[in-house]
């Protein structure tokens, strides 16, 4: 009887916390009026995908898990699973390997994906499996494929998805190569950062499809014209994701010169420009451009992939402010 009562109590806590999370995401504007995604977040229990996670504390991380012997600690785990924050789910030697992304950012990216009923979606970066569950709820599990390089991550994602009642295809492999055996896809969404847009994604996406992916410290939404051409702008939101394993990490930005004005040194938007141009501009040159153009927000920037060329741009892909990106490896 006590066990059943505890289960009922935990379920009530989870239901209340999930409803509060959905209201918080809605209040942020992330659903953008898309009721389908609001229903998905209300239906899919996030805590089943994070049976344990880590929160930052002074000097490192603290682990929280659902089987903790202390009831108060279990409740902290359960309530924390519904905070609108990213949750670190896998660490190795202090390095973050996998996480469950911030739910409001996930909602923003899913809305930007613009899927239609029956669309087939490839997710790059299985993580905890939570995003694949949201996609499965909205589009049907038969239309969802998710991939991750680490077999431990894909195995745990399968377990979490099973526990929640969803069974999309979970593949262990190199996400930069996509999953050609199940192509073509109507939509591709990545939950990890890359230094370039893999051409395999465009080849596996139908013309007229869409790719939504983290890039630099933002999220790009690219419309696919054909297997060698995609173009689109960045969303307004900042975004910081774990790099896709097996690919080169974006080059770390050097410290900003102390001579730059304080508003540049403290501005996320200025640092985004530096991350996007990746050394094509010196910091002083970038600052002059940034100030001259009115401290542009992320939506004014975009990416173009055409054949073997890939470049970032401000306002116009053929305009005066374009920066070539590294050729794909």
The residues carrying an active-site annotation are 98
Q: Say which residues have a Cβ less than 8 Å from residue 281's Cβ, sequence separation at least 6.
A: 273, 274, 289, 323
For the four alpha carbons of 161, 215, 301 and 263, in that order, the dihedral sign comes to positive
Residue 173: partners with Cβ closer than 8 Å, 6 or more residues away? 147, 149, 179
Angle, vertex CA 153, rays to CA 61 and CA 198, nearest 5: 105
Q: Which long-range contacts (CB under 8 A, 24 or more apart) does 27-36 make?
A: 28/84, 28/104, 30/104, 30/105, 30/107, 30/108, 30/111, 31/107, 31/111, 32/108, 32/111, 34/111, 36/138
Q: Per-residue DSSP letters for 18-78?
A: HHHHHHHHHHHTTTTT-HHHHHHHHHS-GGGG-SEEEEEETTEEEEEETT-SSHHHHHHHH
What does the alpha-carbon distance between residue 154 and residue 50 come to, in Å, rounded to a whole number? Answer: 14
Side-chain half-sphere CA neighbours of 51 within 13 A: 9
Q: What value, to the nearest 5°, has the Cα angle with vertex 190 and ends 185 and 194?
A: 120
8-state DSSP, 143: G
Q: H/E element holding 204?
A: helix 199-204
Q: Which of 197, 195, 152, 200 is nearest to 172 (CA)?
A: 152
Separation CA 200–CA 220 (nearest Å): 17
């Amino acid at each position: 009887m006590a066990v059943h009562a505890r289960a009922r109590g935990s379920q009530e806590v989870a239901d209340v916390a999930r409803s509060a999370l959905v209201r918080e995401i809605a209040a942020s504007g992330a659903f953008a009026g898309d009721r389908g995604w609001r229903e998905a977040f209300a239906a899919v229990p996030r805590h089943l995908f994070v049976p344990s996670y880590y929160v930052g504390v002074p000097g490192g991380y603290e682990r929280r898990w659902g089987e903790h012997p202390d009831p108060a600690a279990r409740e902290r785990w359960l309530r924390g699973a519904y905070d609108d924050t990213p949750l670190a789910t896998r660490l190795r030697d202090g390095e973050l390997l996998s996480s469950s992304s911030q739910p409001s950012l996930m909602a923003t990216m899913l809305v930007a994906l613009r899927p239609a009923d029956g669309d087939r979606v490839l997710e790059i970066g299985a993580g905890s499996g939570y995003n694949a569950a949201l996609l499965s709820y909205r589009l049907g599990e038969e239309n969802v494929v998710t991939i991750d390089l680490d077999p431990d991550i894909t195995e745990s994602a399968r377990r979490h998805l099973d526990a929640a009642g969803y069974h999309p295809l979970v593949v262990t492999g190199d996400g930069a190569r996509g999953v050609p055996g199940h192509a073509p896809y109507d939509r591709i969404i990545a939950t990890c950062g890359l230094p370039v847009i893999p051409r395999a994604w465009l080849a596996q996406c139908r013309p007229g499809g869409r790719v939504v992916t983290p890039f630099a410290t933002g999220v790009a939404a690219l419309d696919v014209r054909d297997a060698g051409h995609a173009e689109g702008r960045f969303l307004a939101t900042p975004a910081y994701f774990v790099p896709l394993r097996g690919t080169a990490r974006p080059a770390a930005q050097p410290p900003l010169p102390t001579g730059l004005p304080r508003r540049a040194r403290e501005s996320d938007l200025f640092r985004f420009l530096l991350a996007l141009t990746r050394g094509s501009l010196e910091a002083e040159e970038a600052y002059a451009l940034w100030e001259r153009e009115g401290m542009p927000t992320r939506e004014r920037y975009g990416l173009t992939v055409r054949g073997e060329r890939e470049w970032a741009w401000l306002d116009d892909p053929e305009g005066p402010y374009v920066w070539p990106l590294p050729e794909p490896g």
